[in-house]
Amino acid sequence: MSIQNVSLSGKKIEVSNKKMTFLESLYLVAIAKGLMITIKHLFTRKVTIKYPEETRELSPVYRGQHMLMRDDEGRERCTACGLCALSCPAEAITMKAEERKPEEKHLYREEKYASIYEINMLRCIFCGLCEEACPKQAIYLTKSRVMVKSNTDREEFIYGKEKLVMPLDMAIRNTQMQTAN
């Protein structure tokens, strides 16, 4: 076998321009072969997912919407260090830090907290680097199947703390489960 005929994929077929015989030029055999191939597809499993009724199965490493976590006493973990914003390749995260007042000790764990924490969902690529960067384990990408709804207003896509921070009842449930164990 000469080097020209080697096919790495094993699918290479030499083009031949030989003249067709009368029977071949009627295309009957070729069409019959083709018909057999297509009729097989009539009985194969269909790949379509009927979207609103069925949804696609998610990957085990799927990353959904972000959540700002609370600790087991229900205090926000975020200390507004800005590492998540720094690590974000899409520059989707903005925050404003503020010093904790003495009467806010039950609200925030660290002495500094994020008074504003915003993620622009139009920019976010759900890569999970913020989650990796966070030293306080404050931000996580959940397995939430809720997709960001389409909208005509850009402001709607900037998620603030009211959408990102873990709901309190969820934090309470987590703590209860931990103490039960």
C-beta of 25 vs 115, nearer to another protein:
25
C-beta of 28 vs 107, nearer to another protein:
28
| Least Cβ distance, residue 11 to another protein (angstroms) | 20
| Least Cβ distance, residue 45 to another protein (angstroms) | 8
C-beta of 5 vs 48, nearer to another protein:
48
C-beta of 16 vs 48, nearer to another protein:
48
C-beta of 39 vs 147, nearer to another protein:
39
| Least Cβ distance, residue 18 to another protein (angstroms) | 17
Interacting residues with another protein (CB under 8 A): 22, 25-28, 31, 34-35, 37-39, 41-42, 44-48, 50
β-strand pairing of 112-120 with 93-99? antiparallel
| Least Cβ distance, residue 44 to another protein (angstroms) | 6
| Least Cβ distance, residue 169 to another protein (angstroms) | 39
Output the DSSP codes for the chain: --GGG--SSS-------PPPPHHHHTTHHHHHHHHHHHHHHHTSPP----TTTS-PPPPTT----EEE-B-TTS-B------HHHHH-TT--EEEEEEEPPGGGTTTBSSSEEEEEEEEETTT-----HHHHH-TT--EEE----PPPPP-S-GGGGEE-HHHHBPPHHHHHHHHHHHHH-
